[in-house]
Amino acid sequence: MQPIISVVVPALNEELYIQETLSAIRKACKQIVSQGKRVEVIVIDDGSRDSTFELAVPWADLIVQHPRPYGKGTALQTGYKMSRGHVLVFLDADLGHTAEWFPSLIEPLTSGRSDMVIAHLPAVSQKSGFGLVKKLAKQGVYRLSGFEPSAPLSGQRAIHREVLEKIGRLSGGFGVEVGLTIDAVKLGYRVDELPIPFSHRVSGRDIGGWLHRGKQLYAVSGTLWNRWRQPIC
């Protein structure tokens, strides 16, 4: 039986980017299929109030619509449960044309070098926050697992299904990546970071940007507290 790669894309009000992102994913899927693998593209519409669902339908093999926003972690959990893949790839919905780089995440897994691969994105020139959430996440992951990440908040990653099954939990909201990294390292899995030229929307220093970072800070703090209180074993 051909191995299956499941690409899971959580989306909330991404009508401006979703078509370009999914089109790029579909373009890259041809490369994977040529290698004798199968690919499924799963979109989780996390309660969008715009046209995200309608625009994603033509591009997805499966699309699930949450009745209201449950958060990124829950969206990824839904996608994982609905998937069939031996390898799962998590991609943000706002990557646009750069989503076509996602096969680079898979190769270290299929070659047996890694159990989870995290994309390290290029630095951006646009001013955003002051890096407080990233610093908290980086230090928290290191203190709780011994692994020092360069991209602790990166949502672009590939992981073996058996790793997710062994972990058995995903944090809610924007703390999902931090929790996943800590749990995978603590269980002895090989976690690597790989520079990949993805790019996506950067939150600015406006009200929307500060609200987004506030939610991130709250979620990451909660995840670190949870992982300290209830370490995986």
Q: How far apart are alpha carbons 183 and 170 in whole angstroms?
A: 9
Residues 167, 142 contacting (CB under 8 angstroms) = no
Q: What pTM value is reported for the model?
A: 0.92
Of 174, 172, 179, the residue nearest 229 (C-alpha): 179
Q: How far apart are alpha carbons 40 and 83 in whole angstroms?
A: 8
Q: Per-residue pLDDT tens for 32-41?
A: 999 899 999 9
Q: Per-residue pLDDT tens for 46-65?
A: 999 999 999 999 999 999 99
Helix (H/G/I), strand (E/B), else coil: 13: coil
Largest CA distance in the chain: 50
Q: Per-residue pLDDT tens for 170-229?
A: 998 889 999 999 999 999 999 999 999 999 876 555 566 657 677 889 989 999 999 999
Write the CB contacts of 62 (distance below 8 Å, at least 6 apart in sequence).
40, 41, 42, 43, 82
DSSP code at position 130:
-
Write the CB contacts of 120 (distance below 8 Å, at least 6 apart in sequence).
150, 151, 154, 193, 194, 195, 196
